[in-house]
């Protein structure tokens, strides 16, 4: 069982940055691949970025590539997403998720989810 809790969301102007953090309560954090996904009202949940158990495989959606950076610290049970050059279309609720499988783009792959943190990019 894994409990996930996101933090770090908020209101930011276009071009600004935010750093999201996901804290996990589990004794075997390193056994899970992790990902960030986001969802806007009326839209399906969208894959943003994923990272495998030992950070050797890192993946980004086309929208995130070049602007976002995912990382994890298995000693502290923390997953982070550094988001730079934010755009209005990045506005969404961001979720961290964990899976015992590979960190693929299909949201159904993930067995554990946090409650999400809202990111709003607006002037």
Q: How far apart are CA 47 and CA 62, in angstroms?
A: 10
Q: Which two tokens stand for residue 74?
A: 């298995």
Residue 15 has pLDDT above 90, yes or no: yes
Query: Does the pLDDT at position 38 exceed 90?
Result: yes
Q: Using one digit for the tens of pLDDT, what is the confidence trace for 42-60? A: 999 999 999 999 999 999 9
- Give the tens place of pLDDT for each residue, 100-122: 998 888 989 999 999 999 999 99
Asked whether residue 98 carries a pLDDT value surpassing 90, the answer given is yes
Q: How far is CA 102 from CA 25, 49, 87, 105, in A?
A: 20, 12, 29, 9
Reported as a single tens digit per residue, the pLDDT across 53-90 is 999 999 999 999 999 999 999 999 999 999 999 999 99
Location of structure tokens 């990111």: 119
Q: What pLDDT, on a 0 to 100 scale, did the predictor assign at position 103?
A: 84
Contact 64, 20 (CB under 8 A): no
């Amino acid at each position: 069982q894994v409990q996930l809790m996101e933090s770090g969301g908020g209101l930011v102007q276009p071009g600004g940055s935010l750093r999201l953090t996901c804290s996990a309560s589990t004794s075997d954090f390193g056994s899970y691949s992790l990902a960030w996904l986001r969802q806007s009202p009326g839209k399906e949940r969208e894959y943003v970025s994923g990272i495998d158990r030992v950070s050797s495989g890192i993946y980004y959606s086309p929208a995130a590539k070049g602007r976002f950076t995912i990382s994890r610290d298995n000693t502290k049970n923390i997953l982070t997403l550094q988001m730079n050059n934010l755009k209005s279309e990045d506005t969404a609720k961001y979720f961290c998720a964990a899976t015992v499988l590979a960190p693929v783009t299909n949201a159904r792959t993930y067995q554990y989810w946090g409650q999400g943190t809202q990111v709003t990019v607006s002037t």
